[in-house]
A and B are shown apart, each in its own frame.
Chain A
Amino acid sequence: MNAADQNCTGSLRVIVRSANGALPVADASVIVTEGGAESGAILYTLRTGEDGLTPLVALSAPPRENSLVPDHPTPCARYNIEVRRAGYGTVMNLGVPIFEGVTSTQPVLLVPIGEGGRGEILETPPTPPLT
């Protein structure tokens, strides 16, 4: 990342719900890490409020211009998000894209899965396909 990149940011908010959106999940723990690497550095440790929302956080992103020309290798930055809550399956979102000046909302549906349940790993492909 060059010096110019450091000044560019986008925003992220994680929204945690259950029952296909009929219920917010309060008090879920949300960990945002650098994308790509196996164990990226932890950037934020957040908690959802009674509305199921985390605060809006800023994340660095490459300059907007990168996404305005075809085939640029880094139109956006990538982050991983892990959402945990006791009694629910853990959900991992990998490769979540963040663009400069854009707010991303990451919806997370937790399933109160009980004993013997398992979590879910969801991955966003490396670049939007642009078919």
Chain B
Amino acid sequence: MNQGYVPVIPETITVHLGLPGEAAANVTVPFVEYVKNVASSEIYPTWPENAIRANMLAQISFALNRVYTEYYRSRGYDFDITSSTEKDQSFVYGRDIFENVSQIADEIFSTYVRRVGTVEPLFAQYCNGTTVTCSGLSQWGTVALANEGYAPLDILKFYYGDNIELVTDASIAGVGESYPGFALRRGSVGNDVRRTQLRLNRIAKNYPSIPRIGAPNGVFGEETEAAVREFQRIFSLEEDGIVGRATWYAIERVYAAVKRLSELNSEGISPDDVADVLRATLEEGDRGPEVRELQYLLSFVANFVEAVPALEIDGIFGPRTRNSLEQFQAVYGLPVTGRVDAAVWDRLYRAYRALYESLPADYFEGVTLPYGGAPLSLGARGREVRAMQEYLSRIAQAFPAVPDTAADGIFGPQTEAAVRAYQAAFGLPVSGLVGGATWNSIADTYRSLIDSE
């Protein structure tokens, strides 16, 4: 139990899509997306705004209470809350979101209700007020109160008593940078503006309709405003060209998703001899490089498939690895065994290649491409070869021992010579073949050169 600590808004929340003991998938979603989904599922978007806000504050507080008291986790479950209306509140995975609800959620997802003099988010029970009545808030009752002119907090006090208060702007876990406390707009200057500009430019690599900010110099000018407006349009925010709380945190979230995908690069695949790995059978309790490989592949898949949890790549096959593997097996139509055999390796590699190849060509501009999963050698062609040649060419400028090579996407004799020279210079076995170890070494060297520019 956490009592005594000040609650924070979790970055994500893990929802079990069924009753607690029932076999069902868990999905981990950003907390704000959870709030949008619950509000869209529990109430009607046509209701008066103050009724919607009161309901959403109760929903947020209820969820935070579950997280804060570790209600399910302390009972041995691997989730924070369920989607069952009997136990918790409705969450419909993949459903549509109402725009007005979405904009309110972006504004208030870090606001919750508590009793005066306590720190715990209120266990804000509620029911529909017609077929089910309870001691908490009546959903339909909020409509009548809002029509009578009650403000959201007054509606909440009507049901939960006068000794409650709102905590606004609670700190948010895991988010890169906290909102500076004031809106950034045309004419704003400073580090927060510069950080926003750099993040928008990075997001624009994935979302090319966002115009690039030519000079991310910390001055909020016309270009920055245009980029902010386009970001707001794409992510269903109010299009005002101003970076207030909602837009600030939306930028942080999208930036984190974009970064996460590109940061898996050199983490995982390391064995040069992939064929050996393909034969290994793994189960809980195993350790070593094959387990790292498995964890890397699962984490890569996790970037695309919400039901598969991402993993720490530590080379230890524990319960988390097993859980992630079982989710993968379920989603990809394999028998759910929690063990890795040749068929599972094959499916994992095919899934990995399909995901990898779906990434746009210019996606890794400024970052490095992850290892493709199969060694490159003389005669290989394509995007990976071209990327490797670009890295080697940049390395050649700094290390005269490595000859320059043209970035033509064809692994010819000249490229092979550069690879051999690189391997000799960097203490790798000289094979002229680019497996995981060589790829990661080249990518790391390249990145360190780029970062020092």
Contacts and interface: CB of A to CB of B under 8 A. Distances in A.
B46 A117 contact: no
A87 B354 contact: yes
A111 B97 contact: no
A112 B140 contact: no
B445 interface: no
A93 B94 CA distance: 8
A5 B394 CA distance: 65
A50 B363 CA distance: 14
Contacts of A105: 96-99, 102, 236
B23 interface: no
A99 to B, nearest CB: 5
Given A50-B208, A103-B98, A131-B128, A18 B236 contact: no
Interface string B352-369: 011101111001000000
B97 A99 contact: no
A100 B46 contact: yes
A131 B84 CA distance: 10
Interface string B94-129: 111111101000000000000000000000001111
A65 to B, nearest CB: 9
Contacts of B258: 22
Given A114-B351, A131-B128, A107 B98 contact: no
Contact of A122 (B94, B100, B139, B351): B94
Nearest to B101: A102
Interface string B68-97: 000000000000000001100110111111
Contacts, number: 160
Interface in A73-131: 75-76, 87-88, 91, 93, 96-97, 99-109, 111-118, 120, 122, 124-125, 128-131
B380 interface: no
Interface of A: 12, 15, 18-24, 49-53, 64, 67-68, 70-71, 75-76, 87-88, 91, 93, 96-97, 99-109, 111-118, 120, 122, 124-125, 128-131
Interface of B: 40-47, 85-86, 89-90, 92-100, 102, 126-130, 132, 139-140, 143, 206-209, 233-234, 236, 254, 257-258, 260-261, 303-306, 332-333, 347, 350-351, 353-355, 357-360, 363
29 contacts: A19-B304, A20-B306, A22-B261, A23-B358, A23-B360, A23-B363, A24-B234, A51-B209, A67-B47, A68-B46, A70-B140, A93-B94, A96-B95, A99-B44, A102-B98, A102-B99, A104-B97, A104-B99, A108-B94, A111-B305, A111-B355, A114-B354, A115-B350, A116-B350, A117-B332, A128-B41, A128-B43, A129-B42, A131-B85
Given A64-B46, A103-B99, 9 more contacts: A12-B96, A19-B261, A22-B257, A52-B234, A102-B45, A104-B99, A122-B94, A129-B42, A131-B42
